[in-house]
Amino acid sequence: MSEMNEFDESGPEIIKRFMYVNRRAPYGTIYALECLEIVLVAAAFDQDVSVVFLDDGVCQLKKNQDTTGIGMKNFSKTYGALDDYDVEKIYVEKESLAARGLTDDDLVIPVEVLAADDLREVMAQQDVIISS
């Protein structure tokens, strides 16, 4: 009978760095909510996950969203779950915030605000980039 390896409690080794890029407004399509769900699933499987918000995607994180007029559920508070899933690399493009009159104080979660050039450098370090 062969000897079985002991279970390694540290879990599987992270093989790839996944970056999820959010470019779309939070409502009007399913892209924003589905991307958030995919990020949470990937993080649950101990992947190295980072999330980027740029263009209209920065509006996904805006505080005090009122969706009653459009008949959709406000899911912006769900971004708070990213911390529960150990997703700590959350980036917002500085130029996208400024173009929409927003600052990081207007957002529902803490983020790292990066200029476009710096964000490109972070993106270049990723193994997989998925854009929605």
Q: What 8-state DSSP symbol labels residue 62?
A: B
Q: Are 119 and 54 in contact, with CB atoms under 8 Å apart?
A: yes
CA pair distance 65, 62, nearest whole angstrom: 7
Q: Which CATH architecture has domain 17-131?
A: 3-Layer(aba) Sandwich (3.40)
The pLDDT of residue 96: 98
> Residue 62 pairs with which residues in a beta bridge?
107
Over residues 8-55, the pLDDT tens digits come to 566 566 578 999 999 998 888 889 989 999 999 999 888 899 999 999
Over residues 62-115, the pLDDT tens digits come to 998 888 888 788 888 889 999 999 999 999 999 999 999 999 999 999 999 999
- Using DSSP's 3-state secondary structure scheme, residue 91 falls into strand
Q: How many angstroms separate the first and last alpha carbons of the chain? A: 51
In 1-132, the DSSP E strands lie at 17-22, 48-53, 89-93, 112-114, 128-131
Instruction: Map out the domains of the chain as residue ranges.
Output: 17-131
Distances (CA, A) of 51 to 2, 5, 12, 102, 131: 44, 36, 22, 18, 10
